[in-house]
C-alpha cells in the first residue's frame, strides 16, 4: 500500500458518514475482499489494483426495488458508485457509463444547475481533459460534503504527486460481465 493511498483512504474515511446516503454501502480500501474486487473490476476497470483502492461507495442498491426488478428484469450489473483511488476517482451510475477523473484534472466542483433537469440533483465536476468535460455525480451523495472531500483530495494530490498512469476519461464496458447477483 502506498503512503498516498493511505492518506487518501484516511481522508475519505473521515468523510464517509457525511457524504453518503444510508443506502450507500461504504468499504474502506483495505477491507475489499476478492469477490468485491471482481465486482469492482467488472463495473469500473479490469486493471484496477486492490493496493491502489482507497475506498468504495457502492450505490447499486440506491433506489433499487427488488420486487420491481423481478417484474421488469432490471438488475444492477457490476459495480456502481464512487471508487476512490490514489490519484483519482471512478464514478458510474445506472444511467451513464463510467468515468475516471484524476484529482489533478479537476477544475471546479459545484452543485448541478436546476436547468440541467428538474429531476437531476447532484454535483458537477468540471475537468481539464480533451476527452471529458464534466461529470455529474448523482444519487446517494451529499453535495457540499462531497465537494469538500474532492477539494481535500486535490490538495493531497498536489502535495504527493502522481502514483498511477491512468488518465481522465470514459471507461468502457466489459464484454462478459458477472451474472446477476
**Mean pLDDT across the stretch 41-56?**
91
Q: What percent of the chain has pLDDT over 90?
A: 30
Q: In the chain, what is the greatest distance between 2 CA atoms, to the nearest angstrom?
A: 51
Considering the chain, what is the average pLDDT of its residues?
Answer: 78
Q: Return d(Cα 43, Cα 104) in angstroms, integer.
A: 23
Task: Give per-residue pLDDT as tens, 96-129.
Answer: 678 899 999 998 888 877 655 554 567 788 887 7
* First vs last C-alpha separation in the chain: 30
At 165 the pLDDT is 66
What is the C-alpha R_g of the chain? Answer: 16
Q: How confident is the model at residue 177 (pLDDT cuts 50, 70, 90)?
A: very low
- Spell out the domain ranges in the chain: 3-103+142-163
User: Read out DSSP for 127-171?
Assistant: E--SS--EEEEESSB-HHHHHHHHHHHHHHHHHH-------SEE-
74 or 49: whose pLDDT is higher? 49
Amino acid at each position: 500500500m502506498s503512503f498516498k493511498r493511505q492518506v487518501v483512504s484516511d481522508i475519505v474515511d473521515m468523510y464517509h458518514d457525511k457524504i453518503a446516503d444510508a443506502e450507500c454501502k461504504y468499504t474502506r480500501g483495505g477491507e475489499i475482499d476478492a469477490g468485491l474486487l471482481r465486482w469492482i473490476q467488472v463495473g469500473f476497470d479490469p486493471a484496477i489494483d486492490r493496493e491502489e483502492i482507497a475506498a468504495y461507495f457502492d450505490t447499486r442498491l440506491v433506489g433499487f426495488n427488488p420486487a420491481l426488478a423481478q417484474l421488469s428484469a432490471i438488475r444492477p450489473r457490476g459495480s456502481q458508485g464512487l471508487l476512490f483511488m490514489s490519484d483519482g476517482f471512478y464514478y458510474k451510475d445506472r444511467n451513464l457509463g463510467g468515468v475516471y477523473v484524476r484529482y489533478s484534472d479537476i477544475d471546479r466542483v459545484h452543485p448541478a444547475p436546476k436547468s440541467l433537469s428538474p429531476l437531476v440533483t447532484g454535483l458537477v465536476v468540471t475537468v481539464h481533459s480533451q476527452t471529458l468535460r464534466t461529470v455529474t455525480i448523482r444519487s446517494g451523495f451529499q453535495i457540499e460534503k462531497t465537494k469538500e472531500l474532492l477539494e481535500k483530495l486535490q490538495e493531497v494530490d498536489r502535495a504527493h504527486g502522481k502514483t498511477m498512469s491512468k488518465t481522465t476519461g470514459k471507461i468502457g464496458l466489459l464484454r462478459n460481465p458477472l451474472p446477476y447477483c
